[in-house]
Structure 1
């Protein structure tokens, strides 16, 4: 039996977002235990030319919802990227999880050959459905989850591989 596109997208995106939500919980707990304002994590950067933590979480939410919207045609929620608290980031994750759960399997499976065009200021990238999922959407998602993890870990939040893996 072939792997279906739904199985390549919704379950790992869901697990990753739940893990990210758990990382935020641990960040808040660590901040409270050490007397740090948890909102200071939102501005963390690995290096000046990289996006801050808040943008890593926003993009980690956008990547799966836009992937499913592009494949299925089911409109994704629009966010204005105005989160200024961890609670607001957690609400964004919850909204994204709700959207992922709402997209029917039938709208994703069978879209392996669907044309997906991404438009950027410098041009566009064209894919077919399955190569888009495996070569762009999934790697992009994990890049932002990993970067968020690394920023929190670098800030001293006691998280590890099991937290990142999300209950595997």
Structure 2
């Protein structure tokens, strides 16, 4: 039995975006409860050379949209990477969700064999299935996981169930 490229991508990205939205709700409630400026959370990072929370959201969004664009040989929408508030990040997630929802299973038919140039890998070209399995999904979940870790590090009450989401 094979899995469709649609099932391997769109629902996976949608699930991760849903987790990121849950984190925003929890971060906002945490900031209100602790009487801290939400900008502290948006700008928090795990290490000085890592992107802040806002950057993790931007890269997760980009990872999802660019993966689907590459697989379907289409152009992804351009987002400015200028989010500075929780509301801005919510809006970014909503735009990403809308883009993800625009794909049908048929749009990804045959993309498992489409040759994809892996970004940042010296022009490496791999079949779509390898691109998704070995780069696109791990990259996307790296940023979702890092957003989770940043919020936990700041004391926000996010946990494993928030990461896994609903079944």
Band of TM-score, shorter chain: over 0.9
Pairing 1:1-168 to 2, within 5 Å after superposition = 1-120=1-120, 123-168=122-167
SS of residue matched to 1:63: helix
Distance (whole Å) between structure 2 residues aligned to residue 90 and residue 19 of structure 1: 12
Distance (whole Å) between structure 2 residues aligned to residue 55 and residue 12 of structure 1: 20
Runs of 4+ in 1 over 2 A off after TM superposition: 122-125
SS of residue matched to 1:124: coil
CA RMSD across the alignment? 1.2
Structure 1: state its 5+ residue gaps: none
Give CA-to-partner distance per residue, 1:66-103, whole Å, 9 cap, x none. Answer: 00010112322101111111111111111011001101
Distance (whole Å) between structure 2 residues aligned to residue 114 and residue 130 of structure 1: 8
SS of residue matched to 2:123: strand
Distance (whole Å) between structure 2 residues aligned to residue 119 and residue 5 of structure 1: 19
Confirm or deny: 8 A CA contact 1:46 1:151 kept in the other structure: yes
Give CA-to-partner distance per residue, 1:100-129, whole Å, 9 cap, x none. Answer: 110121111221110111343x83332210
Distance (whole Å) between structure 1 residues aligned to residue 15 and residue 119 of structure 2: 28
User: TM-score by structure 2 length?
Assistant: 0.95
Confirm or deny: 8 A CA contact 1:71 1:116 kept in the other structure: yes
Confirm or deny: 8 A CA contact 1:74 1:103 kept in the other structure: no
Deviation at 1:18?
Answer: 0.7
